[in-house]
Amino acid sequence: MKIKIITLLSIFLFSCDNTKPDNLSRPNIIFMMSDDHTSQAWGIYGGVLENYAQNKNIKRLAAEGVVLENAFCTNAICVPSRASILTGQYSHKNQVYTLTDALAPEQLNVAKLLKKADYQTALIGKWHLKKQPTGFDYFNVLPGQGRYNNPVLKDSTNWKDGNKGGKAYQGFSSDVIMDQSLKWLDQRDKDKPFMLMTHFKATHEPFDYPDRFKHLFEGETLPEPESLLDFYPGESGRTYEGQLLEILAERWRLATINKSDRYPGLPFDTEGLDSIQIRKKTYQKFVKDFLRCAAAIDDNIGKMLDYLEENNLADNTVIIYTADQGYFLGEHGMFDKRMFLEESLRMPFVIRYPKEIPANERINDIVLNIDFASLILDYAAIPQPDSFQGESFRANLRLETPTDWRKQMYYRYYAHAENRPSHMGIRTDRHKLIFYYGHPLGLKGTYTNQTTPPAWEFYDLEKDPLELSNQYTSYENKFVIDQLKSDLIDLRTELGDTETDPDELKEIIEKHWD
């Protein structure tokens, strides 16, 4: 009789425990993302700026979680990368190819799936996808790029398309965006799990910073990347010059002449300087501004971490910090992104979840921005829809990488320009092959209608991790290059990209592939 009573009591308690299907046991998710905050400026990925980055809170996250060494975007420009993060799709699937494209409000995204599964969803800060956000219970977002000082934010009550609508908030954008994020956390429904996306405008050009950092690095000379004086075409064998630092110097010079307040730290001039002196002077201002801007992000990551601790949310919250792509900080004499070179391609990424993820670990697996939504769905116990092309890397984060995890990745950039043509490529753990097909293909958001000569680049990342020498014409690499070309075709076919090829691209590929 005693055994029967104990059994019945156990069944009763078990059924009571499951009346609310895991609402409070499912983890909360905080996805923090910056714009262009490249790995070289994080101070945890090595590099010449490692000892200069203000990163105590990024370090804190890394010490308590996992850092991805090889997280990559599939199209290194802001709008397409953000669309891929939300939809779990490559650009050719979600049809967000360039900066001028918008994410269709009816498009399925990760926020819609979480909201349907009884998560509260919120987005605060940079949106950049044009149309009014969907899938979020609450949003308060910058119009377009937004501004650094006293930013305007738009919610559902004052939304207007374009740069209209919204309300101004006093302060520096990174501080305002975090303050509004914490305010939402205070006001949320405490009986539901939540996903909060906090997206900083920083560190996007014009790289502005709050007054508290204006004297940071004053009087110092910061170390330079090895390839700073890589003057195109030079000895590297690169086929296109990209966005050279001299373009940035000219923007500062004109802003000085026109008395524009867009850029901080003016006046700036290069009168009487030779080409090397101009590049070096430009680099110093650029990288100091960038790191000052980034320091404000680190401050605010700390505010979020403290809030979670103080409100007993830290243990059951997955917290991520990443950037929407990489950025050149003088490497190859460049700034900006877009190229399929490492500094532009790599997305720095750190994640903490004390219940499951080990502390102070790094993994080398190839992870893509299309995988982020899959991971979030996995943690929320939501099945992945067929339209998503990514894979959850939850097991990888537990140091249990599946044996069939991807060994190579596909990349494609569409916003054709003469100095950075449209291109596609493949990367493995060791090799990279780039094909500049150089055609606008009639897409919106390209910078010229003029085509550029098709060209190839090949890098052995083990021998040449800084991509200082294009080895495409080297006979000793012929077998590897031929295999990569074959694999690239297979990847494009598998992912459905070949189905989108117009006749112009088919002709270019047929003529220049061999």
Q: How buried is 396 (Cβ within 10 angstroms: 0-12 exposed, 13-18 middle, 19+ buried)?
A: buried
- How much is the pLDDT for 163? 87
Alpha-carbon distance of 166 to 163, in angstroms, equals 9
**Helices 372-379 + 78-87 axis angle, to 10:** 30
Residue in the structure block whose two tokens are 């047929």: 510
* pLDDT digits 0-9 by tens, 458-471: 999 999 999 999 99
| Structure tokens belonging to residue 233 | 């075409």
Alpha-carbon distance of 73 to 81, in angstroms, equals 7
The shares of helix, strand and coil residues in the chain, as percent rounded to the nearest 5, are 35, 15, 50
Alpha-carbon distance of 415 to 337, in angstroms, equals 12
| Structure tokens belonging to residue 94 | 């979600």
pTM: 0.94
Alpha-carbon distance of 308 to 311, in angstroms, equals 5
Can you list the residues of the chain whose pLDDT is less than 50? 1-21
- How much is the pLDDT for 23? 64
Alpha-carbon separation of residue 317 from 307, 314, 347, 353 (angstroms): 12, 5, 22, 6
Alpha-carbon distance of 7 to 101, in angstroms, equals 61
Strand-pair category, 317-323 with 349-352: antiparallel
- How much is the pLDDT for 22? 56
| Of 30, 87, 36, residue with least CA distance to 324 | 36
| Structure tokens belonging to residue 495 | 């992912």
Residue in the structure block whose two tokens are 């994640």: 351
**Helices 275-310 + 245-257 axis angle, to 10:** 90
| Structure tokens belonging to residue 223 | 């170390």
Q: What are phi and psi of 473, to 5 degrees?
A: -90, 0
Strand-pairing partners, residue 350, are 67, 321
Alpha-carbon separation of residue 459 from 96, 185, 228 (angstroms): 28, 46, 19
**CA-angle at 228, arms to 226 and 229, nearest 5°:** 105
- Domains along the sequence of the chain with CATH: 24-211+287-406 (3.40.720.10), 414-512 (3.30.1120.10)
- How much is the pLDDT for 25? 80
Amino acid at 508: I
| Structure tokens belonging to residue 458 | 């090949």
- How much is the pLDDT for 514? 81
Alpha-carbon distance of 326 to 347, in angstroms, equals 5
